[in-house]
Amino acid sequence: MSEILTQIPIYLVLLAALVNLTRRQWTINLVALTVQYLFLFPLVRSVLPMELALIQPFTGLMVTLILYLTLVSVGGIEKVKLNIKPTSGEIFRALAGLLLLVMLQSFLPGLQREVFPLVPSDHLFASMGLILIGLLQLGTISEPFYIAIGILTFLSGFQLLYYALDYSYLLEALLVTVNLLLAIVGAFFIVKNAESETT
């Protein structure tokens, strides 16, 4: 039972990343990004002390707030429409993301044994899953908002993997700064893209 409970955050994080990969509705994407950051906390907490692990969700919420305020300023926050039929692009991205996770699960034992022997398998699955989904998102969309989400998802996976291998206060400060700067840069390009569409 305890093993099932420890795996719930892993699947919620990956499900949120898959929603961001698949769905193209800004409100849903922001909620999914928030869920992704919040449920990363138990995974980070398993390898870091509480006071250090709290940095991850706090940074994630700051990043999400920056993106939310930017989308509000350009009028991108709309009422959630759940009854919209998925497009062929959304179906393709969902299947591609699921296929990546299935392939990762099959290669995971060898990857852990040969490359990351010190990283627990569940931790490795979550971190590599986020990295792969982030890269897939970067390769399948050109909108600034989704590029920002793809980079942030990739970075979340990298941070999760790094925490299991080693920890450095200096690198943690650098990664927090990078996350916030990426959100600000993403916000800038969201505004520029909105301005170019109105002219």
The pLDDT tens digits of the residues spanning 9-34 come to 889 999 999 999 998 888 889 999 99
The count of domains in the chain is 1
Task: Look at residues 139, 140, 138 and name the one whose alpha carbon lies nearest to residue 88.
Answer: 140
Residue type, position 172, single letter: E
pTM recorded for the entire structure: 0.90
Tens digits of per-residue pLDDT, 48-65? Answer: 888 888 888 899 999 999
Distances (CA, A) of 30 to 16, 69, 73, 125, 168: 10, 11, 15, 23, 29
**Which pLDDT score, from 0 to 100, does residue 62 have?**
93
Which long-range contacts (C-beta less than 8 Å, at least 24 apart) are formed by 111-118? 116/161, 116/164, 116/165, 118/164, 118/165
**Which pLDDT score, from 0 to 100, does residue 128 have?**
92
Q: Which domain holds residue 104?
A: 2-77+86-198
DSSP state of 84: P
Question: How many CB atoms within 10 Å of residue 29?
Answer: 22
Residues of the chain with pLDDT under 50: none
**Which pLDDT score, from 0 to 100, does residue 175 have?**
86
